[in-house]
Amino acid sequence: TDFITKYCPPFYLCLSTDFISILQSSVTHRISYESWLASRGLMLSPFHVRWQTTMFNRLFAYCARINPQVLYLWFSSGLVFGVVAMLGSVVLLIKTLQQTFAQMTTDNPRIGGQQALQVVVPGVNLPTSQLAYFFIALLLSGVIHELGHAVAALREQVRVNGFGMFVFVVYPGAFVDLFTTHLNLISPAQQLRIFCAGVWHNFVLCVAALAFLFLLPVFLFPMYSTGGGALITEVVQGSAADGPRGLSVGDIVTGLEDCPVRGVEDWTSCLSHLSHTPQTGYCVPVASLQPSWAHGRAYKRLDGTMDCCSNNSLTDLCFSYIKPQVSLFCVLQYACMPVRRMVTGTRVCRTDADCASHSHATSVCVTPSLENQTRFFRVTHPPNTHMLFVGYPPHLQYAVSLTNFVPRFGFLHLDLPVFLETFCKYVVSLSGALAVVNSVPCFALDGQWMLNALLEATLVTVVTDRQKRELIGFFLLLAGSALLAANVALGLWMVTAR
């Protein structure tokens, strides 16, 4: 006689299944064991634990009586959103399926655009360091989802037997237990308001988290400043940014060569720009060009580029430049020179003409002679001297973690804004995903009850036979279930293929 509405992604269960089986198989302890579980609202089985309580019923009833007219408008808006979301979720799943097939037909499954929906597998495409964010945001999204069902049900005079949470395999979940008899007595429109309330609340939570994320600089303004650079919060040990003259936690990066860095977005765009543009040069006075020919003559690498430093020095770098001369022919010269001394205090250039217009002394534009895809650039992080980077620019992006928020006071923690940003992003992603998935007309999801109530409300005058309406709903649910199952199956294949 009870109707249970829930969202159910799976969770890891730490309690030994052997211990549970022993208790359940023992005649002596079975009755007392089951009585103890029932008194506490617990239900245990292999890979699954469930807890139900009535302690929140008064809270739900209070929320349902706050302002009847406002709540009517609120849940009626949820009804409209739920119907639109049901159609939109089908379109989104079809589009995602097409993108997955497009990636499957390529030689490399990594090739293809970013999918709107992706299957998340902890430890595979979800970093283990962010599991806490994932599970807390997922549980919060589930609780808000069920809160919507409970308040909407009480407003429509449907009894709520209880609220609960469960853990299945590796994911948490939540549910509300509704009295089915009351649910069957109300109109299809009232049922729709109840069934759509879950996805409606997930959507509202998604928008609220997105707004909080957007306004985070305003909320943290008294404690943290933004726009003055990207703050280093972590440096990967042994990476290109590590070392005595590298980057350190607490450094503020303000520039990459002539590309200003005001935040993390600028850092990413500057690295991308440096990766896809030719190597920049540096204006050096001709008088200071004293190449050390002891390194030997320039030689060609396997990729066709030239090198002139044969001793694998960590302080010298091969530079190329056009030697100033009276001859009509321009001769490209190579010299192995101390890199830090050559580029300290110099400005970037593309040609010798860039140097002539900004220097009274005769200067030439010297360019590091590097392998293809490799770049040399200076990282500005005052008051320290420049960090000199030689390598593939994306490697530097993965070597450090940054944030836009710089503490105004020394006692403030560097990771607080990072925690808030990351958590909000997970809430936006997971709450939005729950709204989409639960809107799909699929068996055992909210979409099943939403579709059935919608058909009862719209087709009752067109298809008068109830069995025919149920048959139409069955085939629609079958198609929606197949669409969702195909997305999940192919999504898992794509995750393992990566």
DSSP state of 169: B
Active site residue 146: yes
Residues 6+ apart with CB under 8 A from 294: none
Q: Which candidate in 146, 156, 257, 456 is catalytic?
A: 146
DSSP reduced 3-state for 301: coil
Considering only CA atoms, which of 417, 414, 427 is closest in space to residue 220? 417
Tell me how far apart the alpha carbons of residues 166 and 171 are, in angstroms, rounded to a whole number: 9
User: How far apart are the C-alpha atoms of 214 and 220, rounded to whole Å?
Assistant: 12
CB-CB neighbours of 55 under 10 Å: 9
CB crowding 194-229: b at 16 or more within 10 Å, else e: bbbbbbbbbbbbbeebbebbeebbeebeeebbbeeb
Q: Which residues pair with 224 in a beta bridge?
A: 407
Local structure of 438: helix, strand or coil: helix
- Ramachandran assignment for 345, one of left (phi > 0), alpha (psi -120 to 50 degrees), beta (any other): left
Distance CA 391, CA 307 (A): 15
Q: List active site positions.
A: 146
